[in-house]
Chains A and B, each alone.
Chain A
Amino acid sequence: MRQDNRELPGSSHSIWSRLSGITDYFAWPLRTSHYLELVNPLWTTHKLQARVEKVWDETRDARTITLRPGLNWRGHRAGQHVRVGIPANGKHYTRTYTISSPPERDDHCFTITVKAIDKGTISHHIVRNIKVGDYLPIGLPQGDFYLPDAQPVQPLFITAGSGITPAFSMVSSLIAQGRLPDTCHLHYSPHEFDVVLGKALKALDAEHPRYQLHLLYTREGADQHFSEAQLEALCPDWKSRDVYACGPPSLLEALEACFEQAGCSRNLHIERFRAPFTEIPADAVGGKVRFAQSGVDTEGDSETPLLKVAEEAGMNPPHGCRMGICHTCNTTLVSGCVRDLRTGEVLNEAGSIVQTCICAAAGDCELDL
């Protein structure tokens, strides 16, 4: 809430911003927006929130959530994703989800479809605990995985599991605009009953002759995993199509290899999500330490506090008590793992707050210092 005197990108001298510049004198050290939040959390300008309007269970472990974004929202392009903040067990987690609804929806809402994945505490939490009326902080839509506006394309979608979401948004958008071209879609799922958005997909397939859907079940009898032969059989003209693919890394790797061999990698557009967690090394004995802002690379062992590591590398990062109580040295974990020397707790989630005076490297790590 500390005032930032720099002009933020996108801030304009609208009547509203001039007015709130004055009313902020009344609200200091908060902003007017903090008091508007008491009336309606969707009116805030200091953060963007969305109200959960509807939850819909797609399968036994996937759920579509309809969100009504706050006033500062801007429309998305089909295929883009959005960051969503989710409180779980008292903590705030940020996860990125593809918007599964088309931008042409006329109720100013959008949907995300979340599948509970193994070990994914947050996706489980969303699928089980989020209820109508909750407010979730969100980011603005991002990402360059979307269909081009002008040039006509004949798309081939290859998706698996919850990777269906951007494709679904794109197809729905093309239909809503009344310009659905000849479209082929290969979707992989373990079983018939857990096809995310399965019913809606089948309805599209039945209704629109130009949309050809092939549902492939990888754990029901015959091996249905991706192969070039399979692709050739289901979509003979695949080499001349623009391909949009989203799914687990194994599928994307197989696709890349296949397209590389066929010499048409240019046609392949891939959306991949980076895992927010780093695997905790079993024998954490320290590792490479990178201080991102300073551009310093050095080594840190498992016992030396990162503050000391930084100082020995010639830096002078902020610090105070050197015993973990004053939090002057707090910084952010960009990637990798660090260990709290007091409790032995390992922090491995990007974005975690690291107290450098009492944390040591546990494997390679990168800090925002």
Chain B
Amino acid sequence: MKTHQLPVDLTDEQIEEFGRELDAIRDEIFDSRGEQDRAYILKVIKTQRSLALAARVVIYAALFFIPAWGHPLAVWPVMLTLLGLGTFMLGIAKILENMEIAHNVLHAQWDWMKDPEIQSNTWEWDTMSPSDRWMHSHNVVHHTWTNVLEKDLDVGYGIMRVTSMQKWKPAYLLQPVYFILLMLLFEEGVALHEQAIDDHLKGKNKFADFKPLMKRIGYKIWRQVAKDYIAWPLAAALVAIPISFFVPFSPLAVFGIVAGANAVANLIRNIWAFVIIFCGHFPAGAHNFTLEQVEGETRARWYLRQLLGSCNIEGGKLFHVLSGNLSHQIEHHLFPDMCSNRYKEASPRVRALADRYGLPYNSASLFRQFGTTWLKNIRLAFPGGGEPYEGKPSQATSP
């Protein structure tokens, strides 16, 4: 019998059976969690902290190769190479922290260890969004209502048209610009990604209604700014003041160099996070859903919706780690609290299961996934861009 309105040729019973098979995969992997998983996350955390510290030291070290020092190695190429290296290391450290560590810890993927240091409800991360606010907008809103129009705020983030199901309006003409801006200011965008702010822009509530919320976000932003753009540069500048009596170089410029390096590191992280995250649900072939379609949804149908709405990116081991294993977006959406190092093991099994049920499994290279995301963004800036929703299975298959 078929009572559901999902774009697949499966009966209700088949969908339930599909759900049970996914449950079995989940249970099997959850049951086998153990010492090697703990060792993995502890290793990643230690690596990340060491890398972050080393990066700051390398950035500081670069300052000793400014030509004004006058020693043989004090030339711009050496200085800029070191500065570039430190900045790159800091960018990678921030990527690791945000994506492979914090995102996954905040998903409660590591709560099972009961390690009081690595718990979703106490972890704070290196970005402007306070972790508990993000957990609400992400874990609750996005992961429960994935790709459902008017429910999932991540469908276009309130500023973009990412599916032809969204009604076009003239403001969307500017979305290729928003696309670039959001890429560059992703950290700030995530911090302000709140239902309350979205409602406020639509005139649904007063500022006073969410002032405490803004205070919390403001405090987090202040501490982030204080770290990267005040504390680290200021310490360098303070040391540079006495040195400037002997070495003709302005402490202000020292401040600028360190702050600039930190800004570039944040930018590297912003761009990378944006690219990976936009490949999660926006490439060609990813499905969106109406509220009607998810009415009275069972767990198995929820699974099916996650599969139809998410896209994987193919790549090597290092790529998966740096993407926080969001390259396994499908598995992550099916099992959001499975520890991230196990997704690669679930992936072939989920794929085989999807094949057996004749379901699409949207997995492709980063080039294809991000390319179609970008092209779709440009196309959907204009009216049209595909039938609103046909309900055909073919619509869900990846080209």
Contact = CB atoms under 8 A, between A and B. Distances in A.
Interface of A: 1-3, 25-30, 34-35, 38, 46-47, 85, 87, 89-93, 137, 320-321, 323, 325-328, 330, 342-343, 351-353
Nearest to A328: B140
Contact of B143 (A28, A38, A326): A326
Nearest to A342: B23
A191 B108 CA distance: 47
B112 A320 contact: no
Interface residues of B, number: 49
Contact of B123 (A1, A25, A35, A91): A1
B114 A327 contact: no
Interface string B15-48: 0000000010001001001111110000000100
B140 A38 contact: no
B124 to A, nearest CB: 4
A90 B224 contact: no
Contacts of B231: 25-26
A325 B124 contact: no
Contacts of A38: 46, 49-50, 53
Contacts of B143: 321, 325-326
Contacts of B46: 38
B124 A327 contact: no
Given A35-B53, A343-B27, A321 B144 contact: yes
A105 to B, nearest CB: 28
B34 A90 contact: yes
Interface stretch (B131-139, B176-184, B317-325, B372-380): B131-139
A89 B139 contact: no
Residue of A28, A30, A47, A327 with most chain B CB atoms under a 10 A cut-off: A327
Contacts of B33: 90
Contact of A92 (B23, B50, B114): B114
Nearest to A2: B124
A29 B37 CA distance: 24
Shortest Cβ-Cβ A-B pairs, 3 listed: A320-B140, A327-B108, A326-B139
A87 B139 contact: no
A85 B116 CA distance: 10
A92 B118 CA distance: 11
Interface in B228-246: 230-232, 235
B140 A321 contact: yes
A28 B224 contact: yes
Contact of B336 (A34, A325, A352): A325
Contacts of B135: 326-328
Given A321-B143, A342-B23, A26 B232 contact: yes
Contacts of B122: 1-2
Nearest to A25: B231
B113 interface: yes
B291 to A, nearest CB: 16
Contacts of B112: 90-91, 353
Contact of A327 (B34, B139, B227): B139
B209 interface: no
Nearest to A331: B121
B310 to A, nearest CB: 14
B154 to A, nearest CB: 14
A323 B299 contact: yes
A89 B35 contact: yes
Given A26-B235, A320-B144, 4 more contacts: A3-B124, A38-B53, A325-B139, A328-B136
B136 A327 contact: no
Contacts of A29: 124-126, 223
Contacts of B187: none
A351 B368 CA distance: 47
Given A90-B34, A92-B113, A325 B144 contact: yes
A333 B27 CA distance: 22
A327 B107 contact: yes
Contact of B139 (A1, A46, A320): A320
B120 interface: yes
A354 to B, nearest CB: 11
Contacts of B337: 325, 327
Contacts of B336: 325-326
Count chain A CB atoms within 10 A of each CB in B125, B132, B227, B232 and give the residue with the most.
B227
B387 interface: no
Contacts of B115: 87, 92
